[in-house]
Chains A and B, each alone.
Chain A
Amino acid sequence: MGRAAHYAENSERNNETMIDWSGYIGLILEGAWVTVQLTLMGSALAVVVAFAAGLGRLSRFMAVRALATTYIEFFRGTSIFVQLFWAYFVLPFAGITLTPLQAGVLALGLNVGAYGAEVVRGAVKAIGREQREACIALNLSRYQAMRHIILPQALPLMLPTFGNNAIELLKGTAVVSLISLTDMTFQAQVVRAQTGNTLIPFATILVLYFVMAWLISLGMRWLERRVSRGLDGLRV
């Protein structure tokens, strides 16, 4: 059946009987859950690799710095689309077969983590020499200084950009529909194909994406307030 004919038949049917939207909306909500999972797990992975690579770039050891820099440049410099296809279609040749969800989380996490790594590095470097020197004068080890003094002050500086990155990641999840993962965008396309109606499914996911991004914003603002408690006012 041709596409035009398919749509024509659908719209004809629309005219005859009302579409049962609750089933279709249910489908989109199932997709929304996949999107939420991808966003949460992808962000979790992104945070871990962002800290690993961001601190790695500040390491004393050349090899660690080189490794971190290579990762960051590679994942920032290639498209998320290509990375996803590699994770899903090419890794199996190396004996690593991932489910679509795993491949999606991996690609999104590593991609956004590369951006996050630079955020971590920038924030850590923004904590001035004076704080580091106080740590040396108080005989803290490098690890203790990082853990107790530098990172707690760097974290509030990272959060606004981390919020941006998380929202970017949320919106980036739509590319996983290309490896047949039934996320929100994928389901909206299914609904559109089956009903011939574009407005309702795409208006629904528009609202859903917006609400999710808004929740991320709220969450990040709450987190920001929490970690910067006592830091407001003058720097000392």
Chain B
Amino acid sequence: MPEPIIRIDNIVKRYGPLTVLDGLSMEVMPGEKLALIGPSGSGKTTILRILMTLETISDGFIQVDGEQLYHVKKNGQLVPADERHLHKMREKIGMVFQHFNLFPHKCVLDNVTLAPILTKGMPRAAAEKRAMELLDMVGLADKAKSMPAQLSGGQKQRVAIARALALSPKIMLFDEVTSALDPELVEEVLNVMRKLAAETDMTMLLVTHEMGFAHDFADRVLFFDRGKIVEEGKPEDIFRHPKQERTQTFLRKIIAAGHRV
């Protein structure tokens, strides 16, 4: 039995008086494709942000790829980690954002090559070769010299995926990556992700409102509500035979809102 690549142990996240995550624990196996669903404010995006070290945790422990994410061992005790440790840990994780967050002053190619050159010291030629392979994979090799402002939303998001992949992370986090897109552009991004899932053994965590995609894509679905995992299981079980009432209510609302399952 392999070790989980992510082990979240009883974490708490508070924003002032508001508790977003209250003693959450979960594990993710290497190569697993996980879909996190649930109403907004349920804490699912917060988990991705915590894993990307964009938020800190108020309590608890997270282990990623055999190492503590937010802590280091010092004299046999776990103490909060410094920036250097976080820097090392971030190498294992990549993230794609809802609003793409491309660098508007850099062309597509530079968006993809910037981080490998700066953080891994990759020679420019090698970084560009790898970037072109990735852009080809997302179907945008011909846009390498375009500026982000010249691209459609779907194209931007595909560049953002290539950019995150350029650092070869073991874990990819997708935070509502199609929510900001026009409906007709959603499919081109989902296709890239399907391809990615089929061709790599990367671990992927996906926060989404695309229930149909979550159903096809995920090995396991977690339903979140109010900072807790209410129900989890195989996509067929969660979507076809949800046991918990809150899951049923949520799915009914989503279907009523016109999302496919």
Show the binding face of A for B, using Cβ within 8 Å: 130-131, 133-134, 136-141, 144, 148-149, 152-153, 230-236
Contacts and interface: CB of A to CB of B under 8 A. Distances in A.
A153 B147 CA distance: 14
B99 A130 contact: yes
Contacts of A130: 97, 99, 101
Interface stretch (B57-65, B113-121, B225-233, B251-259): B113-121
Interface in B93-150: 93-95, 97, 99-105, 107, 114-115, 118-119, 147-150
A236 B156 contact: yes
B163 interface: yes
B99 A137 contact: no
Contacts of B100: 236
Contacts of B53: 136
A65 B92 CA distance: 34
A136 B118 contact: no
Contact of B115 (A140, A230, A234, A236): A140
A153 B95 CA distance: 22
Given A138-B167, A233-B149, A148 B114 contact: yes
A131 B149 contact: no
Contact of A139 (B101, B150, B156, B167): B167
Nearest to B96: A137
A148 B106 CA distance: 10
Contacts, number: 77
Contacts of B150: 233
Given A136-B52, A141-B87, A232-B149, 5 more contacts: A133-B101, A137-B97, A138-B164, A138-B167, A139-B167
Interface string B167-209: 1000000000000000000000000000000000000000000
7 contacts: A130-B97, A133-B97, A134-B97, A137-B164, A153-B103, A231-B149, A233-B147
B90 interface: yes
Contact of B104 (A133, A139, A140, A230): A230
Given A139-B115, A140-B118, A236 B52 contact: no
Contact of B54 (A131, A136, A149): A136
Most central of A133, A139, A148, A235 by chain B CB within 10 Å: A139
B211 to A, nearest CB: 26
A137 B94 contact: yes
Contact of B101 (A134, A144, A231): A134
A138 B99 contact: no
B105 A140 contact: no
Given A138-B114, A138-B115, A148-B114, A230 B95 contact: no
A149 B149 CA distance: 16
Most central of A134, A144, A231, A232 by chain B CB within 10 Å: A134
